[in-house]
């Protein structure tokens, strides 16, 4: 982003406000994309542990701690500090969870049951829709407590 800041400074000094505004929009988009990528990463961790809980029908303190940390990280990363609101609304969160699902399932298949089952097999053992709804509900409930 330092290249963009340098270009922004040059545009302002040259009085090229159209270019300066374009650069600001670009930097804003880069920042937003970075936030969303972080949220997706935290969502994967959340889903991995929810999948393991569902298929193994048990939990560990470590899994529960990872779930809590993921929920906190999703919530704080998603929150717009200065303008309020969120980068991703409930609908976008649901879509993003769905996008995070395949990689989370693959990773969970390597961790659950000592990695003896494929992601395809694990997918038959879990109610994807219900688990995604649970994850979304947990995220939205956490956002309400931090709002």
pLDDT tens for each residue of 19-41: 888 888 788 788 888 999 999 99
Distance from C-alpha of 89 to C-alpha of 34, rounded to nearest angstrom = 16
Share the mean pLDDT of the chain: 92
> Scanning the structure block, which residue is given the tokens 């529960």?
64
Of 146 and 116, the one with more pLDDT: 116
In a domain, 71, yes or no: yes
Residue 131's pLDDT band, with cuts at 50, 70 and 90, is: very high
In a domain, 15, yes or no: no
In a domain, 98, yes or no: yes
Q: What is the CA radius of gyration of the chain?
A: 19
Domain membership of residue 74 as a residue range: 35-146
Its pTM stands at: 0.86
Q: Residue 15 has what DSSP assignment?
A: T
Q: What is the number of domains present in the chain?
A: 1
In a domain, 8, yes or no: no
Distance from C-alpha of 69 to C-alpha of 91, rounded to nearest angstrom = 22
From residue 147, give the alpha-carbon distance in Å to each of 5, 77, 86, 120, 137.
32, 13, 10, 38, 15
Residue 147's pLDDT band, with cuts at 50, 70 and 90, is: low
In a domain, 20, yes or no: no
Mean pLDDT (whole number) for 67-79: 96
In a domain, 79, yes or no: yes
In a domain, 12, yes or no: no
């Amino acid at each position: 982003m330092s290249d963009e800041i340098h270009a922004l400074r040059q545009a302002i000094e040259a009085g090229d406000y159209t270019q300066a505004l374009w650069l600001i929009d670009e930097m804003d988009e880069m920042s937003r994309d970075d936030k969303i990528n972080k949220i997706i990463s935290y969502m994967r961790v959340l889903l991995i542990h929810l999948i393991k809980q569902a298929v193994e029908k048990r939990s560990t303190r470590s899994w529960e701690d990872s779930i809590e940390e993921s929920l906190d990280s999703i919530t704080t990363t998603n929150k717009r500090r200065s303008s309020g609101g969120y980068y991703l609304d409930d609908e976008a969160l649901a879509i993003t969870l769905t996008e995070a699902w395949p990689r989370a399932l693959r990773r969970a298949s390597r961790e659950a049951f000592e990695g003896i089952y494929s992601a395809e097999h694990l997918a038959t053992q879990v109610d994807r829709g219900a688990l995604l709804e649970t994850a979304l509900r947990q995220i939205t409930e956490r956002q309400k407590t931090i709002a």
